[in-house]
Amino acid sequence: MALVPDLSIIIINWNSVGFLRKCLASIDANTKKKSFEVIVIDNASGDGCGDMLQTEFPQVRFVQSTTNLGFAAANNLGVQHSSGKYLLFLNPDTELAGPAIARMMEFLEAHADAGVVGAKLLNSDLSIQTSCIQNFPTVLNRVIDAELLRRLFPKLPFWGTRPLLKASDTTAQVEVISGACQMIRRELFDQVGRFDASYFMYAEDADLCLRTHRSKFRNYYVGSAVVIHHGGQSSGAVSGGNFSAIMMRESLHSFFRQNYGRIHAFAYRSAMALSAIFRLILLAGAALTTLGLVRRNVLLRAIAKWTSIFRWTIGLEMASHS
């Protein structure tokens, strides 16, 4: 009889075979003390993922989906093919930096109140990825969310990222753990209803963390567990220019509607419309002031992005993921 592994690592691949190879190599190199299995779900990407796994990582369980299920549904499918006591949902564009998995598992084993546990995520240049922990989405923190404001005022309570400014091995209770690296007990994952498959991409991680929180569990950031997240490689290849910007807002709109009601969702859409208008005015002013000679391409991309977002707020544009 096969032994049940301590941990099931579930990875969703979408046109990320090069990153997936490095991710799996880092798992093999840094996960020695715990028994684990790896399940890879390919979301109809057609990038040769199955052939690569059969040749280089034959121990990995591979499931080929004939359609792109999205992140939430594909992870739920991965859970169906798994058997570990603990579940780790890991992006393919990640690499473990040392015993990150062991440290998260040890924390879960030592804290019965732990819901979702996450690692310190680093960008490719090894700077801290501030999105690895966040507060639960609100209309206010979503509207004012901007990289410039995060850099200028990193201690503002809106972001929920204060633990990142403390000692490197800090462990802290937080609200949201990034879906790029989430660990949870299988029993609790089933108890709260797994991922909500109505989310195609984005916000499903916050939704899961909110449900564990409402079930009286605490979500934790474990700073001594370090994972490099190259960021956006699993979704960045999606065609359509501003797909990610629109999909993120569609998902957040669903998050507000499902968790707080239609009035809250309407307030979010309305606030995003005003935010888009304000940003477009600023961008147009910047373009006129510089006569389009300074950072022209950056300005044009930003204008296109916020135009698409405004069009979404009034129902003229949607993110297609067919």
The whole-number pLDDT of residue 43 equals: 96
From 197, 229, 261, give the residue that closes a domain. 229
Within-domain flag for 15: yes
Within-domain flag for 235: no
The answer to whether residues 218 and 248 belong to one domain is: no
The answer to whether residues 219 and 77 belong to one domain is: yes
The answer to whether residues 256 and 162 belong to one domain is: no
Query: Phi and psi for 18 in degrees, rounded to 5?
Result: -65, -40
The whole-number pLDDT of residue 231 equals: 78
The answer to whether residues 259 and 225 belong to one domain is: no
The whole-number pLDDT of residue 230 equals: 93
- In angstroms, the CA 206 to CA 144 distance is 18
The answer to whether residues 70 and 115 belong to one domain is: yes
Within-domain flag for 44: yes
Within-domain flag for 319: no
The answer to whether residues 154 and 302 belong to one domain is: no
The answer to whether residues 79 and 146 belong to one domain is: yes
Within-domain flag for 268: yes
The answer to whether residues 127 and 27 belong to one domain is: yes
The answer to whether residues 249 and 213 belong to one domain is: no
Domain carrying residue 279:
243-313
From 229, 261, 288, give the residue that closes a domain. 229
The answer to whether residues 34 and 59 belong to one domain is: yes
CATH number for the domain harbouring residue 109: 3.90.550.10
Query: Phi and psi for 223 in degrees, rounded to 5?
Result: -65, -20
The whole-number pLDDT of residue 33 equals: 74
Within-domain flag for 238: no
The whole-number pLDDT of residue 321 equals: 62
Residues 6+ apart with CB under 8 A from 315: none
State the total domains in the chain. 2
Q: Is 319 exposed, middle or buried (0-12, 13-18, 19+ CB in 10 A)?
A: buried
Within-domain flag for 40: yes
The answer to whether residues 75 and 133 belong to one domain is: yes
The whole-number pLDDT of residue 271 equals: 97
- In angstroms, the CA 158 to CA 151 distance is 13
Within-domain flag for 39: yes
The answer to whether residues 276 and 136 belong to one domain is: no
Digit-by-digit pLDDT tens for the chain (322 residues) are 457 899 999 999 999 999 999 999 999 999 887 799 999 999 999 899 999 999 999 999 999 999 999 999 999 999 999 999 999 999 999 999 999 999 999 999 999 999 999 999 999 999 999 899 999 999 999 998 877 777 778 778 888 888 988 877 889 999 999 999 999 999 999 999 999 999 999 999 999 999 999 999 999 999 999 999 997 544 444 444 688 899 999 999 999 999 999 999 999 999 999 999 999 999 999 888 877 666 788 888 999 999 999 999 999 988 766 5
From 229, 262, 291, give the residue that closes a domain. 229
